[in-house]
Amino acid sequence: QVQITESGGGLAEAGGSLRLSCTTSGPPFGFYPMGWFRQAPGKGREVISCFTESVSGTSTFYADSVKGRFTISTDNAKNTLYLQMDSLQPDDSGIYYCAAGLSVTSSSCAASGDIYWGQGSQVTVSS
């Protein structure tokens, strides 16, 4: 079983930057495909960015709304997944959740089956 601890987030002005971190414990880091989801007030949880690594290579997925602005990355030595968020917009506000156990390709990312979720990190972008 994977334990997930998130950190980062907070308050930023439009055009600013924030970074989210997601540290895991349990199975070896990278065993499960991982990613970030966002839930805005009154809305459902939407996928933002996902990453998976295998012997055949890596796959990275970005939602159209964040392409070119957000960057997902990993530090295997620290068992940590990051989401660097640049050029933030008020619509980026919400609670961001780290997840493990996803189904990831370069063109899709889905949360189905047994998913492990972080506790959520609040991101608020002011205009």
Average pLDDT, the chain: 94
Taking the C-alpha atoms of residue 90 and residue 107, their distance in angstroms, rounded to an integer, is 26
Give the pLDDT confidence of 67-119 residue by residue, as tens digits: 999 999 999 999 999 999 999 999 999 999 999 999 999 999 999 889 999 99
Q: What is the rounded distance in angstroms from the CA atom of residue 80 to the CA atom of residue 44?
A: 26
pLDDT for 28: 79
